[in-house]
Amino acid sequence: MKRNIYLLIFFTTLFFSCGEKKEAPIDELANKSKDLEEFADKMKEVSEGFTEGKKVNPVDFRELKALLPEAIASLKRTDIEGEKVAAMGMNISTANADYSDDQNNQSIDLKITDMGNIAGLSGLAAYGWYMVDIDKENETGYEKTTTFKGNKAYEKYNNQDKYGELSILVAKRFVVEANGNNVSMNEIKAAAEMIDFGKLESWKDFGVEQ
């Protein structure tokens, strides 16, 4: 069933990428057919282990809040909140906290999201970096996909503004995000490392109904 969905996605993309009156040569169609099989196999590989399509009760946001540290180095926690959202068959929970220094010159935000039953291709629509490899650099900064504590991650940093972003997908279900202003990328990574990734891993199958 899922393979058919992947094929549909491929055909839709192929249809809109071709002109209405343009006819592809036989050898080009053969190549497209090969690409189709590779695309379907890749999508199947990427989706394995996700909870999409299953009934999932997300981890209580209070449990997620408990993973957020009270302070990050010299930055004090100024706000913390969490919520569960259930609508149109989707169930997700989030927890986030803000940290800053006394002068409010430096700040870091941490967020944990349990994608629940949208942890799959639809959920990853908001995190497209998971399915691609990115490595880009210019005069002002860079962005790239990488690995963080064994998980696929995406980082972006602006050297001029000293603003950075770090997103990590954990257990193909949880997304940890760390954003920092007037701090280095190393400081942003250090903040993310304060979250117990092992705990998130242990919740991989939490609330999943087969």
Mean pLDDT of 28-50: 50
Q: What CATH code would you report for 55-209? A: 3.40.1000
Mean pLDDT of 11-27: 45
Q: Show me where the domains of the chain are located.
A: 2-47, 55-209
Mean pLDDT of 86-112: 93
Q: Give the list of residues 6+ apart from residue 46 with CB closer than 8 angstroms, or none.
A: 121, 130, 131
Closest Cα to residue 207, out of 76, 103, 54? 54
Q: Give the list of residues 6+ apart from residue 146 with CB closer than 8 angstroms, or none.
A: 153, 154, 155
Alpha carbon 49 to its chain's center: 15
pTM: 0.74
* Spatial distance between the Cα atoms of 54 and 116, rounded to a whole number of angstroms: 9
Collapsing DSSP to helix, strand or coil, 27 comes out as helix
130-177 per-position pLDDT tens digit: 778 999 999 999 999 999 999 999 999 999 999 999 999 999 899 999
